[in-house]
Amino acid sequence: MCGRFFLQRDPAGLARYFETQNPTPNHRASWNIAVTQESLVVRRHPEGARHLDSLRWGLVPSWAKDSKDAAKLMNARADGIAEKPSFREAFRKRRCLVPMDGFYEWRKAEDDTKQAYAVAMATGEPMAVAGLWEGWKQPDGTWLRTFTVITTEANEKQALVHHRMPVILPPEVWDAWLGAEPAEPEDLLELLVPCPAEELAIWPVDNRVGKVAENDPRLLRRDPSASPPPELDDAPPDLAG
């Protein structure tokens, strides 16, 4: 699963990185984004250009009677995504990229205690996570636009922390995923695989990240009290300070 992520990068820099064409939306840096909060999403405008927009995390299907189950749809498993009622229409028509500087996951020890870890690209570049978005008309007539993060099985490195991870898409497939290039559903499903293990940096961080109210750059600092498996003993990327 993916239950928390961070995005501290300047929106203007993200707009350049993803080559979006609309006015850049405002977005305050956040080191602890949780479900039902707003974050930035890259979508393809009907006229073809990429747009960077602010949407709420937690999918509300267009046919939903209310938005109370949005938190349950913060993630969409890659397997079955083309058939499940909550996701199939969005998979066909409303695919997006969710920019992240990284995400958090918790590793359970033998004594049932949990240690938080931050996961980022080893290069320090943004993650382009596969997502889906939806528009839902609220009772007052306004539109609520929401997104979900697609997850897949973990690669061998991420599996040391958790058995699943977000799908991170490389730049060469962005156009196909966003619909700018023709692609069959089968081809799109083949993109929803774990990224190569060597592309990730994973390090232990303070468990206070588990509290939504905690939100500051110090969350990304290595927890000196943690003893991660040797395979996870990466030097944090520059964004960790």
pLDDT tens for 195-227 read 999 999 999 999 999 999 999 999 999 999 998
pLDDT tens for 146-205 read 999 999 999 999 999 999 999 999 999 999 999 999 999 999 999 999 999 999 999 999
> Could you say which of 2, 38, 96, 195 is catalytic?
2
Is 0.75 topped by the overall pTM?
yes
> Could you say which of 38, 105, 134, 195 is catalytic?
105
Which of 87, 176, 165 is CA-nearest to residue 133? 87
β partners of residue 77: 151
Quickly state the pLDDT bin for 240 (edges 50, 70, 90): low
| Sign of the Cα pseudo-torsion (114, 218, 55, 11, in order) | negative
β partners of residue 96: 131
Average pLDDT over the chain, rounded to whole?
94
* Residue 241 predicted with pLDDT over 70: no
Active site residue 105: yes
pLDDT tens for 39-86 read 999 999 998 999 999 999 999 999 999 888 888 999 999 998 999 999
